[in-house]
Amino acid sequence: MTAFVGVEGVSKWVAEKGAEKVIGELTDYLADDYVRWEEFDKKPRVASHSEVGVIELMPAADSKLYGFKYVNGHPANPARGFQTVTAFGALAEVHNGYPILIAEMTLLTALRTAATSALAARTLARKDSKKLGMIGSGCQSPFQALAMRSALGINDLSVWDVDAKAMETFAAHAKSLGFNVRIATSAADAVDGVDVVTTCTADKALATVLHDCDIAKGMHLNAIGGDCPGKTELETSILHRPESQVFVEFEPQTRIEGEIQHCSPDFPVTELWTVLAGQAEGRRDSEAITIFDSVGFGIEDFTVLRYIHEKMADSAYMEEIDIIADPENPKDLYSLIAAQG
């Protein structure tokens, strides 16, 4: 039998455990997998693009486990009553190829994206960071706020979105979670005087959400919205400032999809895992502008599936499903049909 956890199970389990605690634990799981990055079979996501969005498969494997995620990204979906992003995933044992877990991954993607931002921030941001500026207040925003509090203890934040209703919804969630929230008048206003910036917009366009003049020395930026070809959020000159250091997940993928997609092939970047493994320098000094150009990578999905499989195993929210045709004689598949006669 294969374990299964659906949306209701994940929702109840996270609510019971506490979303901030889950993000904190998942951040540690990610750190463990990032340190052993070289052990993984790594591939860029397989993407099928259309005029209205993208559908992707994101695989990753080590010597024991294989995982993948199916995920879409359709920016216009909310106007039609659909989610921008939905996902599901699977985890299998390498030795026989049998799936051991099938899981919803819309919520899990939000959690793993937040945990990845938390990992980057606690590795690269100034340790005295106190304020967060958020550009984009969609579905991901409460998770990102909790991630920064989990990683850095940040409780004060400002937010800007072109959708006033989305800002109000986020502010209500954030205040209920104990944050001090300021609704900004513009993107520039949202990042004025903050230490950490998260950009998370959904528009599939070459946007300039933040300009060079908006970014102060010493900031850390989690740029997580620019995640496919033709989609960016930052003015390119921010990346080229003398103070700027750019960090990525998997360089071959980020060169195609991230903020650096318009930079020259020799534009210097550092893969985050090398910092965590002690192979590369992180933040140079207090005036450095550290930029995590995050596009999402399959190892992060592998990690959240591994985390859920281990942590939810004894919960009431995980069930077993009959998904593998496994006859007593491995060479007699027809016997399963014959037995029904």
Residue 227 bears catalytic tag: yes
| SS3 of residue 53 by DSSP | coil
Which position among 161, 195, 227, 301 bears the catalytic label? 227
Angle between the N-to-C axes of helices 106-124 and 19-35, in degrees from 0 to 180, rounded to the nearest 10? 70
Whole-number Cα distances in Å, 278 to 85, 123, 219, 248, 271: 34, 11, 22, 16, 12
Whole-number Cα distances in Å, 167 to 134, 164, 171: 10, 5, 6
- Residue by residue, DSSP assigns 276-289 as HTTSS----STT-E
- Residue by residue, DSSP assigns 61-98 as E-SSEEEEEEEEE-TTGGGGTS-S--EEEEEEETTT--
Rg over CA atoms, the chain: 21
- From the CB of residue 206, how many other CB atoms can be counted at a distance below 10 Å? 14
Contact 199, 224 (CB under 8 A): yes
What positions carry a catalytic annotation?
A: 227
